[in-house]
Structure 1
Amino acid sequence: MADLQDEPHSVGVGAEDVPVTAPLRAGGSLDRAAALLAVHPVADGCNTLVWTLRQSPYHDIDTPDTGVDTDIPRLRAGGVGAQFWTLLVPPGPPRADSCAQAVCETLEQIDAALALMRRYSESLCLALTADDMVDARNRGRIASFLGPVPGSTLTGSLGALRAFHALGVRLLAPAGAPWADEGLTAFGHEVVKELNRLAMLIDLTGCSPAAACQLAAASKAPVIISNTGAASLTPHPDNATDEVLLALRAAGGLAMVTFDTERTGDSLHAVADHVEHVRALAGPEGVGLGAAFGAEPGSPRPAGLADPSGYPRLLAELLERGWSEADLALLTWGNAQRVLREAEFTARAAQYKATPG
């Protein structure tokens, strides 16, 4: 495990690793942020573009457009090197066949995401592992992870989970699933065990504090919250409480801070306050960024962070608050790398134990 813990402190570039303490070019904080992002780009934990494009299937994200807040030029301008594309869909009216509908919608989301990778293959690259994440970055592409998918699609059988994994999904969100809502059921423990075996991350976004803490304790691999704010700063039901942030720290997990005026305030300064609070409780290796871009115009965004091109401004703000380059490199890239690698390590250990001696 020691090599995994050390991994985020350097990221492979060509034949040699570049330490996060490598000197940045001279200039103001914005120049320094841009230089850091060139080596340690943002691994963003949440983007809803897949669902948005399903409503506008002919939209071209190769060119900037006011129709959505995410496109390839703005992702590149913001220094995004890896993206987790959420496959969750907005809630609709309840139906008698809600489980079957959830599975169908999820498969449609996966199909749309894979189509997105194929259509923009010069810029986006499907990623399945931490090594894929680095390889895509080194080839000038944005590593694209699929997930989370909703845990409500699993009802007493792990077959759907394994099928999602085979299709490339690497995250699952238990929120709203009957096996996790009121505490983990026996089947819920089996789901967690299988997620660990498959190296799929558990995304606690939307879980109650009690469920989140129980899932973090049950998983042998790190868990994440792909988009959140600090509930103690902004009391929003989707923000992580201090109890959950401390549980993440104990479990080696990762909380990724969102950019949403309702959850993290209406300014870049307010978002930075949330990032610092999460770091204070979850630890320097427990904080990341999950803006939840990808929506149509009208979604409330903090000033200066209206789209992915705003990432350098946030890093410049944190530099001016005294953040070290090493901590910023963990925030943008290293912490996401760590949880992926540790999930893979946990999976290999589980498979090794399952192999007859």
Structure 2
Amino acid sequence: MIFVDGLECSAFDREVFEELRGGGLGCVTVTCGFWEDTTESLDALVRWRDLVRANADLVGVATTAAEIEAIHAQGRTALLLGFQNSSFLSGRIGYVEVFADLGVRVAQLTYNIQNDVGASCYDPVDGGLTRFGREVVAEMNRCGMAIDLSHVGERTSMEAIEHSAVPVAVTHANPASLVPHARNKSDDLLKALAARGGVLGVSGYRNISGEYAATAATWAELVARTADLIGVEHVGIGSDLGRKIGEADLRWMRQGRWTRTVQYGAGSAANPGKQPPLPWFPDTRSFPDLAEALAGRGFAPGEVAAVMGGNWMRFYHEVLPAGRPAGEE
């Protein structure tokens, strides 16, 4: 069994990397940016390279499924570099290939407001995937960069699924029919995602998990009901864990540079701040407990392995480019 977390937005350092190893994580998609332009995003990749180099005994950057498996076999955690927006492209289609060549393997089409690719889940009107957006989807397919729809609007998401030549992902969200929230996804969208071979990373983030965030057992119930909806083979984990994220970080995520007004993201005026850690999942050292919770809910051993990481690995084998295992000449 390989443990995979479909997305985290933590402020990573050696301590957080040690937590990954403590939980036996084989792979984690990390967030390199939200609103940053091309130059700022390049700076972020430089920082990530320096950070990984300084902690190479614990982690390594992976660009293919084979590299994930090789890094995991070495007793380290594979990191997939990702962005939660497409602002790093600065409207230039050629930058998809450039950033792919630099190791970026996951990108969300939009974040919390409409951009030149399409609409976000918070926009009151969703005009769908733009002409540029269709070009971006095709180029991400060509370059082996996974498409993430977690914060993307309904129509834009549907059209991305339709136009993508390979499966796409929702790395961190839940079914809206179980937890009504703008950030969660309709049954129709999730069924379309699954029909094309995609994966949903079920999240325990309080704001979008509601009562299912109470305990590991209630989270396992959320997973079970999601599996009933779209099939267990399309369900993974996307914790959206934000270790060491402070109020300034949260403000940047929610407001960027596009507004002077207070934004609450997945929160609300009544629930505005950073959410406290889940007692049953304070950090990734608790990842093995999720497998126990799934087994306790009645998932068979093969199903537990699939949800804990096997489904993500199947997705990565199909979507990420083929290549030599890490460490080979």
Distance 1:256 1:245 in 2: 11
Size of the aligned set, in residue pairs, is 282
| Counterpart position of 1:354 | none
Alignment of 1:295-306 (within 5 A): 295-296=243-244, 299-306=275-282
The separation in 2 between residues aligned to 1:249 and 1:287, in whole angstroms, is: 9
Deviation, 1:120, is 0.5
Deviations 1:179-211 (A, max 9, x none): 222212222211111111111100001011221
Letter in 2 for 1:303: P
**Does the CA-based 8 Å contact 1:254-1:282 persist in structure 2?**
no
- CA shift for structure 1 position 310: 1.7
1:119 correspondence with 2:80: no
How many angstroms apart in 2 are the aligned matches of 1:116 and 1:299? 27
Cα deviation, 1:221-243, whole Å, max 9, x if unaligned, reads: 11011111222222122112212
CA contact (8 A) 2:57 2:76 kept: yes
Residues 70-109 of structure 1: CA distance to partner in whole angstroms, max 9, x if unpaired? x2332223221101111233x6xxxxxxxxx522332222
Structure 2: where are the runs of 5+ without partners?
120-126, 246-273, 324-329
Are 1:171 and 2:138 matched, yes or no? no
Is 1:61 aligned to residue 14 of structure 2? yes
What's the counterpart of residue 223 of structure 1? 168
CA offsets per residue over residues 49-87 of structure 1, 9 Å max, x none? 3xx35xxxxxx524xxxxxxxx23322232211011112
Q: Tell me how far apart the structure 1 counterparts of residues 240 and 320 of structure 2 sit (CA, whole Å).
A: 25
1:147 is paired with a residue of what secondary structure? strand
CA contact (8 A) 1:285 1:335 kept: yes
Determine if contact 1:221/1:343 at 8 Å carries over to the other structure: yes
From 259, 269, 274, give the equivalent of 2:222.
Answer: 274
Q: State the shift of 1:156 in Å.
A: 4.2
Q: Secondary structure of 2:292's partner?
A: helix
Gap change, CA 1:108 and 1:156, over 3 Å in 2: closer
Would the aligned equivalents of 2:146 and 2:169 in 1 still touch at CA under 8 Å?
A: yes
Is 1:226–1:255's contact at 8 Å kept on the other side of the alignment?
yes
CA displacement at 1:276 relative to structure 2:
1.7
Measured against aligned partners, the alpha-carbon deviations of 1:238-285 in whole angstroms (never above 9, x if no partner) come to 112212211111111010012211111332233222212222223222
Choose from 139, 151, 162 the match for 2:74: 139
Q: Distance in 2 between matches of 1:308 and 1:190?
A: 36
Change (3 A) 1:219 1:320: same
**1:290 has 2:238 as partner:** yes
Rounded to whole Å, the distance in 2 between the matches of 1:237 and 1:300 is: 21
- Cα 1:153–1:75 change in 2 (3 A) is closer
Correspondence for 1:310: 286
Question: Deviation at 1:155?
Answer: 4.7
User: Structure 1 stretches of 5 or more lacking a match?
Assistant: 1-39, 54-59, 63-70, 92-100, 349-357
User: 1:191 and 2:136 equivalent?
Assistant: yes
Identity, in percent, stands at 30
Output the amino acid matched with 2:301.
E
> 1:126-165: per-residue Cα shift (whole Å, max 9, x none)?
1010000110111111111100352133354212211111
- Asked whether the equivalents of residues 74 and 307 of structure 1 are also in contact (C-alpha less than 8 Å), the reply is yes
Instruction: Write the mapping of 1:201-216 to structure 2, written as runs, cut at 5 A.
Output: 201-216=146-161
Q: 2:183 matched to which residue of 1?
A: 238
Structure 2 partner of 1:329: 305
Larger radius of gyration: 1
Scaled by the length of structure 2, the TM-score of the pair is 0.80
**Structure 1 length-normalised TM:** 0.74
Partner Cα separation in structure 2 for residue 287 and residue 234 of structure 1: 16
Mean CA deviation greater in 116-125 or 299-308: 299-308
Structure 2 counterpart of 1:307, one-letter code: D
Q: Aligned residue for 1:26?
A: none
Question: CA offset at residue 295 of structure 1?
Answer: 2.9
**Shift in CA distance, 195/302, structure 1 to aligned 2, threshold 3 Å:** same
Task: Show the counterpart of 1:160.
Answer: 95
- 1:344 CA drift (Å): 4.1
Q: Distance in 2 between matches of 1:172 and 1:220?
A: 16
* Candidates 14, 30, 37, aligned match of 1:102: 37
How far apart are the structure 1 equivalents of 2:92 and 2:279? 45
Within 2, Cα distance between the matches of 1:141 and 1:295? 19
In structure 1, what residue type is equivalent to 2:99? F
Q: Deviations over 1:23-69 (max 9, x none)?
A: xxxxxxxxxxxxxxxxx1311111123xx35xxxxxx524xxxxxxx
Q: Structure 2: how far apart are the matches of 1:79 and 1:137? A: 9
